[in-house]
Amino acid sequence: MKNKNNNELSVFEEEFGLTVNEEGNVVTNSLKVAEYYGKDHADVLKKIRKFIDLIPELGQGNFSETYFTDKWNRKQPMFAMDRQGFSMLVNKFTGDDATIFTYKYTKAFEAMIEELEHRREQSLNTIKALNEKDEKIQRKKMLDSYFGKRKTVTTFKYCGYEEFTNILNLFDEYLLQIREAEDKRVEYDRLVYGLTQNRNSIPSTDKMFMLKTTAYSYYIQEFTKKKGSSDNKSNGQKLRHKNGIISKQAEIINEKDEALNSLENKLNYYEPEDYEWIELKVHPFSHNYMTTAAKDWNTGNPKIVKSEGYYKWQNKFPYQQLPVFEELGIDFSKRVCAWFRFVAKSTFDPTNCSKTALDTICKHYGVDDNKIEMMECKKIDTCKEFWDGKIYVAFRNQ
């Protein structure tokens, strides 16, 4: 289609001298008109100049004096003219041939104007489509900066009460991009986890303590119910519809707060969800081999030192698979729980592997492993070779 359109424009130019001027208007020229009608160009120039002498404003748009280069490389005068100027010029040309020529010329003018309008419309549509695509890309980047992976947890953990409704709106919009029901359920879990920590951090001295904790607790409870749901509709819109009711009833539901706190505690201690686990592709190392006996070179007395095997294991530890500290969303100044799951050779006891893993990870983050007040470890599978071993770890504030 593009080549066809270009050929049509070439025909307009070659046969009728039709071009587009700087203002975007279709014009022809006196030289081509004289040639097409079999007129002397000098006579055509005289007729145009007579028009301009009678009506000077014609020289400001309908006819524009310009030049062409003849075969002897000399500049010669000619006039460019729009459709109105052309009509005035050829109106006095008589004879059947002139009538036919005028008909063809007029049709060519109309066809070229129509083609240019079509092209302008296509260009505008293309620009509009590109702008809309760019807006969608920018919008997606903005939503991705709030949600997805561990960002959903962090967003709801630290969002203020004033921006909470707006964050929920954005969360609704983000969910529309997710097709798989399971992926939506994961996002619900992340919201619940982050909002639970947010609610837990509200000081009792806050003037809006009851209102905030009641509203947050309601959403925690509602989104917990949505876990396992495959409904693709936006649940956030239904929940926000009830927000006004929650605010009005805040002063009469104080007795329900204890029950909601109980729900929150359960959420804090349930088995970590899939998104909370950090997968480390390394075989666990038993703390039985973490240390060895050695002789103090100064006193000659025996002492306990870290074993060479443990140092080698630490050097090969996949630190790059650990998220950055900020993405953990864990406050190590408070009580912390840790879960460990191991894929190890059959000879390894999982209870002997958690200490080395915890020591290495806490050292990497620069935190005191004594802050871990509850730790659970299990072997979930066995492997035949060391390179097939894995460690899964999850942290959570109590």
Judged against a pLDDT cut of 70, whether residue 324 lies above it is answered with yes
pLDDT band at 390 (very low <50, low <70, confident <90, very high): very high
Please answer whether residues 344 and 379 qualify as being in contact, where contact means their C-beta atoms are separated by less than 8 angstroms: yes
Dist CA 245 CA 123 (whole Å) = 51
Long-range contacts of 20-26 (CB under 8 A, 24+ apart): 20/116, 21/64, 21/80, 24/116, 25/82, 26/82, 26/83, 26/109, 26/112, 26/113, 26/116
Q: What is the pLDDT of residues 229-267, one digit of tens each?
A: 544 444 444 455 455 555 555 554 455 455 445 444 544
Judged against a pLDDT cut of 50, whether residue 2 lies above it is answered with no
> The tokens 């036919």 sit on which residue?
100
Q: What is the DSSP string of 306-318?
A: E-HHHHHHHHT--
Rounded mean pLDDT of the chain? 80
Please tell me the predicted confidence (pLDDT) of residue 329. 84
Reduced to 3 states (helix: H, G, I; strand: E, B; else coil), residue 294 is: strand
pLDDT band at 268 (very low <50, low <70, confident <90, very high): very low
H-helix or E-strand containing 295?
strand 291-295
Characterise 148 by phi-psi region: left (phi > 0), alpha (psi -120 to 50), beta (else). Answer: left
How large a percentage of the chain has pLDDT more than 70? 84
Give CA separation, 155 vs 70, 152, 163, 177, 194, in Å: 74, 5, 11, 18, 7
List the 75-81 sheet strands across, edge first.
19-20, 26-29, 75-81, 63-69
Please answer whether residues 357 and 317 qualify as being in contact, where contact means their C-beta atoms are separated by less than 8 angstroms: no
Reduced to 3 states (helix: H, G, I; strand: E, B; else coil), residue 88 is: helix
H-helix or E-strand containing 336?
strand 336-344
Judged against a pLDDT cut of 50, whether residue 114 lies above it is answered with yes
Please answer whether residues 32 and 79 qualify as being in contact, where contact means their C-beta atoms are separated by less than 8 angstroms: no
Structural domains in the chain, sorted by start: 2-124 (no CATH), 151-271 (no CATH), 278-397 (3.30.1330.70)
State the pTM of this model.
Answer: 0.36
Q: What is the pLDDT of residues 41-62, one digit of tens each?
A: 999 999 999 999 998 999 888 8
In single-letter form, the type of residue at position 291 comes to T
Dist CA 144 CA 138 (whole Å) = 10
